[in-house]
Amino acid sequence: MTSYARNIAPASEELRILVVDHHALICETLAAALNMESGIYAESATSLHAAHDRIDETARFDVVLLDYEVTGMDGMNGLRHLIDKTDSAVVLFASSANPMIVERAIAAGAGGFIPKTLPFRALKHALRLVAEGVLYLPAQHMRPTAEDNTTEIDLTPREMRVLGFLCEGMQNKEIGRELGLEDGIIKMDVRSICRKMGARNRTQIVIEAMKRGLPDILLSGQLSSE
């Protein structure tokens, strides 16, 4: 997992999202759902031409969620043109994507690939990561290294559950409410996860989990319980 040099939005600022999808219902519904979240502003466009108009009319978007099949894409040409036009992180957004297409998109400067099957809470977290400069890819689209080719980590069942919630972008208080535990206990679990995964902070925990393919397990509900 790497970072890339594009517009990086401070976490304290409003996250501005442009959703570009050829399905008007999906496009408008997702934008509306994002607008209901604190600290997020979203607009929608149902064609690449409309997306260019939104970008021209708006001072800045932090992330552009771009449906690969949206009208006007013309394969990678539309993606490259949009990337050249804006400092926003442009991310492929699709139900599924050929690994070759994803690789070509990354090579062209895309900020990653976010599947439409991602749970909404995890989607919000993915958008934050991308806005912070993290290249977001599902595990199946990542090239494992010798040290990342295993999902085995010596975590307790509760730590695995905490890790799953971290991958969804939840804060300690939210995790504590879900598990019926005090914030201090969750904080200790997060520290333990950091140590075991060799991560310095929560963002790195998620990145390391993605490199090991863990979100595919954790976000699918296959969580162990104590």
Give per-residue pLDDT as tens, 131-164. Answer: 888 888 775 555 544 444 445 678 888 988 888 8
Cα distance between residue 68 and residue 52, in whole Å: 15
210 shares a domain with 107: no
Residue spans of alpha helices (H) in 86-140: 99-107, 120-131
On the question of pLDDT at 1 being above 50, the answer is no
CATH number for the domain spanning 27: value is: 3.40.50.2300
Whether the predicted pLDDT of 30 surpasses 50: yes
Q: Provide the percentage of residues in the chain whose pLDDT is more than 70.
A: 81
Residues facing residue 15 across a β-bridge? 40
Could you give the number of structural domains in the chain? 2
Asked if 41 and 134 sit in the same domain, the reply is yes
CA distance 173 to 179: 10
Q: Is 170 found in the same domain as 135?
A: no
pTM over 0.85: no
Q: Give the end of a domain, one of 112, 141, 170.
A: 141
Residue 199 sits in which domain range? 157-218
| 208 located within any domain | yes
Longest dimension (CA), the chain: 52
Residue 127, in any domain of the structure: yes
Whether 2 is covered by a domain: the verdict is: no
Residues in the chain: 226
